[in-house]
Amino acid sequence: MQATHIVAIRHGETAWNVDTRIQGHLDIPLNDTGLWQAEQLARALAGEPIAAIYTSDLQRAHATAQAVARATGAPLTAEPGLRERSFGRFQGRTFAQIEAELPADALRWRKRDPHYAPEGGESLLTLHARIERTIATLAQPHLDEQIVLVAHGGVLDALYRLATRQDIQAPRTWQLSNAAINRLLWTPDGLNLIGWADTRHLDDAVRDEPNA
């Protein structure tokens, strides 16, 4: 059966990742570490055949994808369907603030209630349906080719669950590292996992320190 090879990437680090502050649909830029991660990612993928790059239109993902596009020469397309889950009124708050200010909401979120949506946001069921639909739309035209998808932690989590047939409420036992390389195979029957959380391009790289 024909298949589309997918390299799925979570964007590089942002200041809000460091602060454990919920970003959701807020448009937060990469920090210096995130920019460095994007360049290391681009170097790692530079020699691979890539037919197309699709990215969330939020700048932390788009900037990561631009680095890969520069290194590979593959065409880059912004796709709003790859956006992070919308967290509504959670956005801009830290995990600790949500626990303190909205304990009932925090409990339903922590238990991964698939029907729960923060006020103004998306439920996990809505997110998973959006991601499954978007991936099929993007992968179908690229059978027997490889594409890159640059998105967000919630999107990568949905992809992993879809590829491994894990329930939405199953506890997460896998990593969602910034700028890690994750590999999947898409066919009309669905997703399958090939490899996950490869960070060798980051672990083995030496980062230049600024002059004192």
Q: Per-residue confidence at 211, pLDDT binned at 50, 70, 90?
A: very low
**Top-level CATH class of 4-203?**
alpha beta
Give alpha helix (H) positions in the chain.
Answer: 15-18, 32-45, 59-72, 95-101, 103-110, 124-139, 153-164, 200-203
What pTM did the predictor assign? 0.95
Q: What is the tens place of the pLDDT at every residue in 4-45?
A: 999 999 999 999 999 999 999 999 999 999 999 999 999 999
User: CA–CA separation, 159 vs 175, rounded Å?
Assistant: 12
pLDDT at 210 over 60: no
Question: Is residue 183 part of an annotated ligand binding site?
Answer: no
Question: Is residue 108 part of an annotated ligand binding site?
Answer: no
List residues with catalytic annotation.
Answer: 11, 84
Question: Is residue 12 part of an annotated ligand binding site?
Answer: yes
Contact (CB, 8 A) for 14 and 34: yes
Question: Is residue 112 part of an annotated ligand binding site?
Answer: no
User: CA–CA separation, 25 vs 42, rounded Å?
Assistant: 25
Question: Is residue 42 part of an annotated ligand binding site?
Answer: no
